[in-house]
Amino acid sequence: MRHQGGQLQQMLRTLRGHGGWLSVWLLAAGWLALPSLGIAAEGAPAGPVEYRDIPGIGSRNIVWVIAQLHLLLAGFVLGVPIFAWVCEIVGWKSGEKRYDKLAKEFTKLLTSSYATTALFGGILLFLLIGFYPKLMNYLTDIFFPSFVFYCILFLLETATLYLYWYGWDAMQDGGKKTFHLFLGFLLNLFAFFIMIVPNSWATFQASPVVIAEGTDLARAWAATWNPTWWPVNIHRLIANVVLGGFMCGAYAGIRYLAAETSEERDHYDWMGYVGNFIGVFGMLPLPFAGYWLMREIYQYNQQMGITLMGGFLSWLFILQAMLIGVLFLGANYYFWMGITYRIPGSEMSYRKPIMAMLIILLVCLGVWMTPHSLVASLEEARKMGGTHHPLLGVFGVMSAKMTVANLMILVTFMSFIMYWRAGKQETATWAKVARAFMSGVLGVAAIVVIVLGVWGYFVPAIVRINYFSTSQVLIVLFVMLTITPLTAVLLKSAKTTTEMVWGRMPPRAGYALVLNAVMVILLMTLMGYARSSSRVHWHVYGVMRDSSQYAFSPALGYAAAFMALNTFLFCMLVAFIFWVATMGDKGKATGYGGGEKGKLPHGVPAMAGGSPPRGNEQ
Amino acid sequence: MDEVVKLQLIGLTVVGLGIVILLFIRAQFARVVGFVAIVLGLFSLVALSVPQMASLPPAEEKFDIATVKTPTDLAAIGQKIFFSKGQCALCHSIGPSESARCPDLKGIGAKLSREFIFESLTQPQAYIYLDYRHEGPPKEYPARMPYINKNPIGLTKNEILSVIAFLQQMSGEPISVSPSELEVPGQAPSAPVKAGDSGPVAVAQAR
């Protein structure tokens, strides 16, 4: 069968005009139900097959589900090695075995998910070859050398992962430990390349470049280095850390809820804190990477940029704002709960700052999710003087959104600093000056971010995009890079006034961790849909048109239903994998019970907040 | 039943199921599943409450020269192309617009010669890429007018001429594009639409 794209699209347009999307889908299902071989036998023109289909769900939808599950799993298995390895280094440097055990626990989750990731990748490949032979032929012709490289990378990654995981206990001390850390480095190196190679295929589809004649390798390289490749690489690298962190946090949250002993509760409380910390740590620079990606898209093709942010996908970014806002609220809420429950007696002193931060976050979220054009009746539009609200319309543009995004990042960063400093008394002689300096830096930064945001309304777009927005980002980065080391140095000599207590968090803390993970997963499904739809009816934008019956992009509601389905399937899949992987853990001591309670590790700023009490270490 | 309504009902059912689980089931994992169901159901309901816009591929319009008898017929085709295949309205507005990122095209047919408009559509790098508004040498814009006669838009010469006719008509100008200029498939092309002989600067002076 070649395809019946043109006829079906005409019918879709006609039926859509009669308000019947359901009838459209029934008709599509009717077409799909016809046996494809039968149609082919009825005298379709000879020639290479361009598309195949599957009755019922449709080829595009099944590829959507499998591709999304593969990408979510891949994001997890590529993000976890980063912080598992860092955690192992922290344990090695500080001599604290609990960090090594935590790193091993992260790696256990990763190893058990690895095979499933590859499995879904294989299924996806078969589906793409089967359903989209025209596209796959074209991409193979350009990228074949990178396919070979990709296969080699998988062999290297798998071998390294086996050695890293199975050799963990055997390579605990001395030179063996150094070698084990080196394996961790290699694991991350190969993982990085495993990510950026398929990124080139996907980004080439969105922002293709002219490929001159040359060797296969030269052509593949030219196609790889397209305008959106590196922005996507950086964005996904950071996002993988966020996904991995929050998923580990959610795992810990669920184990915490189901914990039966105090040792388990302590351990998973701590693991939940670390997971949330890693997720937040990655989340802070992530909007900047997203902004860079969007800028490159606009630079490459203005229409694609406008399709995304001003065209039919513009409401998608309102949904994105809502999800990110809930994620920021959830991550901050978990920090605030940590201050309240892990540092007894501190809730009164932090109540006002927490309230202030909550209000700022809610206001910023409100501004971020305000659309530019309102859904209004003719009467309402007449009263407003147009589709833009005279007051709220002001918040619907990028200047407002960049400003509030930066403010939310600053607030979240301060939640983390507050948590880090809670229960401690600085003893350094210069502590007062340092605190005044940090307050000054924070205050000035916030004011400058707001001033630049307001001023941005009155300057040409090029000034706002090139100078103001980048200045806002640099200011926030400066604040984080200044306050973090200063706090670390201050706390090195600080005395603990209130010992941190683990295992006392209420059940809603576990649910907050689950909520954060679900938000991140939903965001990935949402932005994956945005990336695919930005190509509208092109397989390769401007080069290879989609001439199948699925050349349209569905409305946001239908797409969101698929996103929710994909998220749910992924959560169930991962829950199953983690359950199988940790089946043998029940009844085993985690090694964190009894002994000295509340002793905090020293000089480990990255894991601020200490760890559960020392105990019977395995 | 409307598809949106159907999906809303499914969303409400999922949320309801989640609430029931949280109210009546004690098993921890099941309660987490119920919580996740509520979150996902609410997300779907919110997504269904915003304006629903699908994106259909542009209709394959055949430019039927036989139906073009007068310049007004040409302008009518140009109007259709302006708002569909040409994707002009994606960036440009006709009349003031707060959201348009590109120049307002109201009256453009009167301000610019047809040669300059043709050059802007087919060779945007010749002049309009460059920002002449500021002091000193012109700077390039960060975002660029695409080549309208190349993919992904890929208007044919006939389609470009009809868009020019529309812009002129919309501006209240007499249409200077004649149906006799249209290229008939299989015949030798008519004389090309030349940009100003002295290049972009001379054409710019027409503004």
For the stretch B29-63, pLDDT in tens is 999 999 999 999 999 999 999 888 888 887 766 77
State the pLDDT at residue B101.
63
Tally the residues of chain A: 618
What are A304-314's pLDDT values in tens digits?
A: 887 887 778 88
Q: Quick one: pLDDT band at residue A125, thresholds 50, 70, 90?
A: very high
Q: Quick one: pLDDT band at residue B78, thresholds 50, 70, 90?
A: very high
Shortest distance, CA B24 to any CA of chain A (angstroms): 17
Chain A contact set for B40 (CB, 8 A): 518, 522, 564, 567-568
Q: Which of A55-64, A278-287, A394-403, B28-37 has the lowest mean pLDDT?
A: A394-403
CB contact under 8 A, B44 and A553: no
- A 196-215 residues inside an 8 A Cβ radius of B: none
Q: Which residue of B has its CA nearest to A513?
A: B32
Q: In chain B, what percentage of residues exceed pLDDT 90?
A: 31
Helix (H, G, I), strand (E, B) or coil at B140: strand
Taking residues B106-126, report their average pLDDT: 87
State the pLDDT at residue A246.
95
Chain A contact set for B10 (CB, 8 A): 561
Which own/partner pairs from B112-117 qualify as long-range (CB within 8 Å, at least 24 positions apart)?
A: B112/B206, B112/B207, B113/B196, B113/B203, B113/B206, B114/B164, B114/B168, B114/B176, B114/B177, B114/B193, B115/B193, B115/B194, B115/B195, B115/B196, B115/B203, B116/B195, B116/B196, B116/B203, B116/B204, B116/B206, B117/B164, B117/B167
The radius of gyration of chain A's CA atoms, rounded to the nearest angstrom, is 26
Rounded CA gap, A390 and A384, in Å?
7
Question: Does the predicted interface ipTM exceed a cut of 0.85?
Answer: no
CB A406 within 8 A of CB A472: yes
The helix (run of H) or strand (run of E) holding residue A153 is: helix A133-166
Please give the C-alpha separations between residue A396 and each of A200, A290, B50, B101, in angstroms, as whole numbers: 33, 18, 15, 14
CB contact under 8 A, A555 and B53: yes
Taking residues A329-342, report their average pLDDT: 92
Helix (H, G, I), strand (E, B) or coil at B86: coil
Whether the pLDDT of residue A206 is over 60: the answer is: yes
Taking residues A268-297, report their average pLDDT: 90
CB contact under 8 A, A25 and B3: yes
- Which has the closest alpha carbon to B141: A297, A306, A299? A299
Identity of the highest mean pLDDT range in A25-34, A145-154, A581-590, B49-58: A145-154
State the pLDDT at residue A539.
93
Q: ∠ CA B203-B205-B207 to the nearest 5 degrees?
A: 95
State the pLDDT at residue B135.
56
Whether the pLDDT of residue B205 is over 90: the answer is: no
Whether the pLDDT of residue A288 is over 90: the answer is: no
Higher-scoring residue by pLDDT: A536, B19: B19
State the pLDDT at residue A388.
66
Identity of the highest mean pLDDT range in A368-382, A483-497, A505-519, A531-545: A505-519
Whether the pLDDT of residue A79 is over 90: the answer is: yes
Shortest distance, CA B119 to any CA of chain A (angstroms): 19
State the pLDDT at residue A594.
39
- Closest by Cβ to B55, choosing from A306, A533, A567: A533
Which own/partner pairs from A83-87 qualify as long-range (CB within 8 Å, at least 24 positions apart)?
A: A83/A241, A83/A244, A83/A245, A83/A278, A84/A110, A84/A184, A85/A181, A85/A184, A85/A185, A85/A187, A85/A188, A86/A606, A87/A274, A87/A607
How many CA atoms are closer than 13 Å to the CA of A277, on its beta-carbon side? 21
Rounded CA gap, A551 and A547, in Å?
6
Higher-scoring residue by pLDDT: A18, B21: B21
Rounded CA gap, A415 and B79, in Å?
55
What are A528-579's pLDDT values in tens digits?
A: 999 999 998 899 988 888 989 899 899 999 999 999 999 999 999 999 999 9
Query: B65-204 belongs to which CATH class?
Result: mainly alpha
Q: Quick one: pLDDT band at residue B134, thresholds 50, 70, 90?
A: low
**Structure token digits, residue A384:** 């407003």
In this structure, what is the dihedral angle of CA atoms B24, A512, A581, A102, given to the nearest 10 degrees? -150
Chain A contact set for B52 (CB, 8 A): 555-557
Shortest distance, CA B178 to any CA of chain A (angstroms): 30
CB contact under 8 A, B43 and A563: yes
CB contact under 8 A, A558 and B3: yes
CB contact under 8 A, B55 and A536: yes
CB contact under 8 A, B99 and A373: yes
The radius of gyration of chain B's CA atoms, rounded to the nearest angstrom, is 26
For chain A, the distance separating the N- and C-terminal CA atoms, rounded to the nearest angstrom, is: 62
Amino acid A405 reads A
Whether the pLDDT of residue A45 is over 60: the answer is: no
Q: Which residue of A has its CA nearest to B53?
A: A555
CB A190 within 8 A of CB A164: no
Q: Quick one: pLDDT band at residue A374, thresholds 50, 70, 90?
A: low
Rounded CA gap, A91 and A102, in Å?
9
Any A CB within 8 A of B22 CB:
no
Whether the pLDDT of residue A251 is over 80: the answer is: yes
- Please report, for chain B, the start and end positions of each structural domain, with discontinuous segments joined by +: 3-49, 65-204
State the pLDDT at residue A301.
81
Tokens 């598309």 correspond to: A51
- Closest by Cβ to A22, choosing from B1, B10, B153: B1
Question: Is there a cis peptide before residue A231, judged by omega within 30 degrees of 0?
Answer: no
State the pLDDT at residue A91.
92
State the pLDDT at residue A308.
84
Q: Which of A145-159, A233-247, A379-393, B81-95 has the lowest mean pLDDT?
A: A379-393
CB contact under 8 A, B50 and A556: yes
CB A489 within 8 A of CB A431: no
CB contact under 8 A, A303 and B144: no
Chain B contact set for A515 (CB, 8 A): 35, 39
State the pLDDT at residue A381.
67
What are A411-428's pLDDT values in tens digits?
A: 999 998 988 888 888 888
State the pLDDT at residue A307.
82
Burial A312-323 (b: 16+ CB within 10 A, else e): bbbbbbbbbbbb
Q: How many CB atoms lie within 10 A of CB B138?
A: 12
Higher-scoring residue by pLDDT: A131, A423: A131
Cut 0.90: pTM above it: no
Higher-scoring residue by pLDDT: A437, A25: A437
Rounded CA gap, A420 and A338, in Å?
10
- Closest by Cβ to B144, choosing from A21, A302, A393: A302
CB contact under 8 A, A556 and B59: no
CB contact under 8 A, B56 and A515: no
Beta pairing class for A544-545 and A538-540 = antiparallel
Q: Which of A219-233, A593-607, B143-157, B173-187 has the lowest mean pLDDT?
A: A593-607
Q: Which residue of B has its CA nearest to A557?
A: B48
State the pLDDT at residue A371.
79
CB B46 within 8 A of CB B11: no
- B 126-145 residues inside an 8 A Cβ radius of A: 131, 141-145
Shortest distance, CA B30 to any CA of chain A (angstroms): 11
Mean per-residue pLDDT over chain A, rounded: 84
Q: What are phi and psi of A79, to 5 degrees?
A: -85, -40
Chain B contact set for A10 (CB, 8 A): 59
Whether the pLDDT of residue B129 is over 70: the answer is: no
Burial A128-146 (b: 16+ CB within 10 A, else e): bebbbbbbeebbeebbebb
Whether the pLDDT of residue A256 is over 90: the answer is: yes
Please give the C-alpha separations between residue A116 and each of A240, A262, A577, B17, B106, in angstroms, as whole numbers: 17, 33, 9, 29, 57
Whether the pLDDT of residue A284 is over 50: the answer is: yes
Tally the residues of chain B: 207
Whether the pLDDT of residue B195 is over 90: the answer is: no
